[in-house]
Amino acid sequence: MAAYLCPPAVIHGEHAVQTGQILAEVRDRHPHAPWLSRIEGIADSTGIASRGWMLPLSAAVAHSAEGGLRTPGVAPAREALARDGFAEQDVDRAIAALEAIPAPQTVQERTAPAWEAVQAYGERAARGALQSAGLDASDVDCLITSNSTTPALPGLDVTLANRLPLRDDVLLLPAAQWACIAGTRSLALAADLVAADPERVVLVVISEALSTTYQPADDTLESLIVRLLFADTAVAVVVTGRQRPQSVLRLDAAWHHTLPGTQDLHRLDTRSDGTHFVMDRRGPRAVQSTVTAMWEWLGRRHQNDATPWHPDLLLAHPGGTRVLEYMEQTMPEEWPEGMLTYSRDSYTTGNRGGAAVFDILRRAHDAGQKPGSRTVLYAAAPGLTATAVEGEWL
């Protein structure tokens, strides 16, 4: 397995949402929440002061344009009031009052504008990655896409095939449900594709509007954490089977791991008011077990090396800072410190889901890396499943 990566393109959400804005909105909407007195400390623990969204905060907290009483309910309400002896004028007033009651946005109201943004951001990232690789859209042989929070059919792959545009014989591989693992798993798949045909050019595009999981009506502690964590980002990278002048990283091996019985720890629930991200407090511990399994894979892979092996960089998206801390605690003592610097830097502006690993990779690239620097890219996602890829900087 040998695949070559050109520099990734990263497009951050253009609307800066400050943590203070989120806390103010939460206080106003849930003044009696039992955890309200703790929100400052919870917010500080995330380390995130601001995050970029594709749409402004006002779009996430807006009320439905349809009002409290939806159109299908108007006729039954009129009939019920009339049966109870209300005069027509009083019925009209009651219906008007019911329609004026603020209601949560519908799934369509939340998702439709986000899906438009996901497509536009994805196109920008794709064009940026092609430019970084010194290639045109006509050079692409395969397109891998992922976007888990704005499901659509046709999907992002077809959108980009038309907008870029791609050749009509390009292989389109959409992977809408990869979520946080999209970065590493797309690279592993791209590496397999170019191994089968080294002349292939694979374009990977991940565009995530995670802000669609911001649900103002939710009053649980977990929903507060979801509000604080997520950022919106589109990323893209070109993977080739032959080294190009623009290539910056070679991938040599991939590893996959799935934990049985953990599918309920993190999940998306679609309800009448949109998409909700549900987290279980057991999640970080489960993710930690995938980290241990990754250490074992690396140990087996390098057990016969002439000299002790260790990565120089670990570009990891385990979903949160708690697992990053666990990774540092469980690394062999002889491994150098600071391998997770770029992961921590990325988290200071939000959890980017499937786009995170490419954002972390871009930060490492921009900082400058020595040729031969050994690197492991890792991510875990709802399922619970994990993928890591190993390689060296060129």
Task: Classify residue 26 by its DSSP letter.
Answer: H
> In the chain, what are the domain boundaries?
3-63+104-240, 249-393
Q: Which residues pair with 141 in a beta bridge?
A: none
The per-residue pLDDT for 26 is 94
Residue 302 main-chain phi, psi, to 5 deg: -115, 20
Asked if domains 3-63+104-240 and 249-393 share a fold, the reply is: yes
pLDDT at 263: 77
| C-alpha closest to that of 230 among 180, 291, 176 | 180
Between CA 229 and CA 109 the distance in angstroms is 22
CB 206 within 8 A of CB 249: no
- Output the pLDDT for position 264: 78
Enter the pTM of the model: 0.90
Residue 276, CB-side half-sphere exposure with 13 Å CA sphere? 18
Domain 249-393 matching CATH 3.40.47.10: the answer reads yes
Determine how β-strand 15-18 pairs with β-strand 50-53.
antiparallel
Q: What is the pLDDT of residue 95?
A: 54
C-alpha span between 329 and 290 (Å, rounded): 14
Residues in the chain: 394
Q: How far does Cα 23 stand from its chain's mean position?
A: 22
Is the distance from CB of 389 to CB of 297 less than 8 angstroms? Answer: no
Q: What angle do CA 113, 117, 122 make, to 5 degrees?
A: 150
Residue 119: per-residue pLDDT: 98
| Peptide bond between residue 76 and the one before it cis (omega within 30 degrees of 0) | no
pLDDT for residue 77:
66
Closest CA to 64 of 115, 97, 109: 109
The DSSP-derived string for 317-346 is E-SSHHHHHHHHHHS-TTSPS-TTHHHHHH
Please give the C-alpha separations between residue 60 and each of 129, 179, 210, 252, 388, in angstroms, as whole numbers.
30, 21, 11, 42, 34
| Residue 10: count of CB within 10 angstroms of its CB | 23
Q: What is the mean pLDDT of each run of 10 residues along the chain (394 residues)?
A: 95 98 94 93 94 95 68 66 74 58 73 95 98 98 95 94 98 94 98 97 97 90 90 98 98 95 77 75 78 93 90 91 88 90 96 97 98 96 92 98
- pLDDT tens digits, 138-196: 999 999 999 998 888 999 999 999 999 999 999 999 998 899 999 999 999 999 999 99
- Residue 136 and residue 130 in contact, taking contact as beta carbons nearer than 8 Å: yes
Measure the CA angle with vertex 209, ends 351 and 13; round to 5°.
75
Task: Say if strands 171-174 and 142-146 run parallel, antiparallel, or are unpaired.
Answer: parallel
Instruction: Find all residues with CB under 8 Å of 242, minimum gap 6, and list them.
Output: 4, 198, 199
Residue among 251, 139, 140, 237 nearest 183 (CA) = 237
Which residue's structure tokens are 């087996």?
A: 300
Sign of CA dihedral 155, 160, 161, 163: positive
Contact 263, 214 (CB under 8 A): no
pLDDT for the residue numbered 90: 67
CATH class of 3-63+104-240: alpha beta
**pLDDT value of residue 33:** 92
